[in-house]
Every structure is written in structure tokens, then in C-alpha cells.
Amino acid sequence: MATLLLMQTRGRVTAAEIATELEVSVATARRDLEALSTAGVPVYPQPGRGGGWQLIGGARTDLSGLTAGEARALFLLTGPSAGAVPEARSALRKLLRALPATFRGEAEAAADAVVIDPAGWGRTERELPETVRLLQQAVVRRRRVALRYPGRDGSATDRVVDPWGLVDKDAIWYLVAGTEQGRRTFRVDRILHAGPIDEEAHRPADLDLSTVWAEVVEEMEQRRATTSALVLIGEHLLPVLRDRHGRHCEILGPAPDGRIRVRITAHTPRAIAEQLAGWGATAEVVAPDSVCDELATLGAELVERYGDGRR
């Protein structure tokens, strides 16, 4: 891509010029040019003094459609994440040098405009799990993977999957894969063993991983929202409750006493009780009785553990 951009912005280039700009050897630059020609890109060499390589008839690739805004967005998104990956930094440098001169300044500034610090306060930076690295390679190289994964009953089973893609959701990695039973999602930190197989993986031609993951999230959220509770809270607590519960907190409107009626959902009455117990009397559960009973049980357990009897 960088070689094509250079040819488009400069017209005719030599293998030596490409090697200098993209920090590769002349032999590598020549091989890349020949590979482009073999792949059907209309590039051709012009021998003799003042010769070089150029695109036939001024042909251009889709990369020529990059606008200044698109170049800024590209480097703004990829620049911060490239910091820990030498290959990514090198690739960005090459693309930056291949951009039209009028785009380079803002693109370079965009690459350094944002710093991503993945470590929380008081914590060290989390490293990419080795299993994630292995699965990434399998996805990119289209290799099938043998997994050992625990079932719902806790017993481990061996299976072979076609890895479609990986998702990092709030520091938890998931593998989306095709199996004999259809699409499945595996939580990477629960995988007991993973190993690539020298077999080509099948990936649907029309697969859009973002769309597939949105479907996975919707399915998971529905499973997590099978139980609901009607709760009364003070209006000043509403922003915090919505931040904690997200889509599982539905605002129903004001109550006669001035408090706010909300519906909290989770997968079990116990889960709702555990989420609301820390609010004490500031959150009143009106219904159902099952959640109220769980709150009473939690309260009794806390009194028994930390009440006067303990002292």
C-alpha cells in the first residue's frame, strides 16, 4: 500500500527511492514492485537513465480516495494502539511518508494526539494473554484451532473450531468461531488449551464481525435480563444507578412521593438483591417478593456476621 501511494503521489519512482523512503532493502523494494505487477496492478518499469517504475496511464488505486480527514482519522485511531507494537509503528511511518505532502502534517500530529494507558491506578499494564496471541494468528492465517473448553456442568470437552475473530470487551477477550453446531462464542480466559491445526478454517465470505458481535451482545443481555424488580430511588441517585446498570436500568417515571421509579433487570432475584444491597434503605424494592426475600436474607447474613454478637 505504501509503495502504491508513493507511486501515485510522485509519479515515477525507482526501487532505490522506495527502499530509502520505506526503510527496506533495494532488493525488497524491487520484489514488491514485481509482486504488484504479477498481482495485476498496472505498474511497469522504464529502463535507462531517468527511468523507474510508474503506474500505466496514471492509474490509481482505491487508496487514492483518502481525504485529509480520512488520513487524520486513520492515524488518530491507529497511532495510540501502535505504541506497543514495533511492526505497527514501522507500518505507520511508511504510510505517513507515502501520503501526499499536504496531508502529512495533520496525519503525523494525529498519530501523537492520543495516548492510551490501559493500566488502572495502582495497577500494572496488562499484557496480551498468550492464548489471545495464538488465536489472533489463527484468525489472520485462516487456520482451524483445537480447543479444550469447560461446559456448563464444568466438565471439559475437546472441539475443533473455525476462528472468525476476537473481541476485547472491557478487558475480557472473547473468541467468535464457527462450529459444527453453528456460531459459538468462547471466553478466552476459560479456554483450558488451544492449539492451531494445519487445516484451512472456513470463514463466511459475507461475515461482518461487528454485526455478529452486536448479535452476540444482544443474546447475552437478554439472557441476563430474565428477572426484573420495581425499585424506588431518590432522583440524585439516578445517574449513579444508570451508570452501574446501563441497559439493565429502565426509568419508569416519578413516584407520588417524589422518588423515581426504575426497573432493574438481572438473571436471578439473588443477583438483583446483591446489586442493590449496598444502597441500603436509599433504594426500596417494591416488587417482586422474591427479590425482597433475597434482600432480607442478605441483611440477616450481614447482621449475623457483623452485628453485636460478633463483638
Residue 282 in any domain: the answer is yes
User: End of a domain among 63, 84, 99?
Assistant: 63
- 229 in the same domain as 194: no
- 236 in the same domain as 200: no
Residue 217 in any domain: the answer is no
Pairing state between β 193-200 and 172-179: unpaired
Model confidence pLDDT, tens digit, residues 144-157:
999 999 987 778 89
- Give the 3-state secondary structure of residue 291: helix
List, in sequence order, every beta strand (DSSP E) within 269-308: 283-287
Residue 144 in any domain: the answer is yes
Residue 59's pLDDT band (boundaries 50, 70, 90)? very low
- CATH number of the domain to which 32 belongs: 1.10.10.10
Judge whether 231 and 285 are in contact, CB under 8 Å: yes
Look at 117 and 15; give whichever has higher pLDDT. Answer: 15
Task: Report the alpha-carbon angle 171-177-183, nearest 5.
Answer: 115
Cell reading at 278: 449496598
Provide the pLDDT for residue 221. 82
Residue 284 in any domain: the answer is yes
- 57 in the same domain as 73: no
Residue 292 in any domain: the answer is yes
- CATH number of the domain to which 232 belongs: 3.30.70
Residue 212 in any domain: the answer is no
Report d(CA 90, CA 93) in Å as an integer: 5
- 229 in the same domain as 273: yes
Number of domains in the chain: 4
- 198 in the same domain as 230: no
Nearest Cα to Cα of residue 193 among 252, 109, 131, 250: 131
Tell me the one-letter amino acid at 185: T
User: End of a domain among 50, 84, 111?
Assistant: 111
- 257 in the same domain as 185: no
- 232 in the same domain as 200: no
Report d(CA 262, CA 282) in Å as an integer: 13
Model confidence pLDDT, tens digit, residues 166-187:
998 877 899 999 998 899 999 9
- 54 in the same domain as 71: no
- 258 in the same domain as 182: no
- 148 in the same domain as 99: no
- 16 in the same domain as 71: no
- 200 in the same domain as 149: yes
Model confidence pLDDT, tens digit, residues 73-89:
777 777 666 656 677 77
Residue 42 in any domain: the answer is yes
Domain that holds residue 98: 66-111
User: End of a domain among 205, 239, 254?
Assistant: 205
Instruction: Note if the bond before 100 is cis, omega within 30 degrees.
Output: no
Residue 261 in any domain: the answer is yes
Nearest Cα to Cα of residue 249 among 235, 261, 267: 261
- CATH number of the domain to which 173 belongs: 2.30.30
Cell reading at 137: 494468528
Residue 50's pLDDT band (boundaries 50, 70, 90)? low
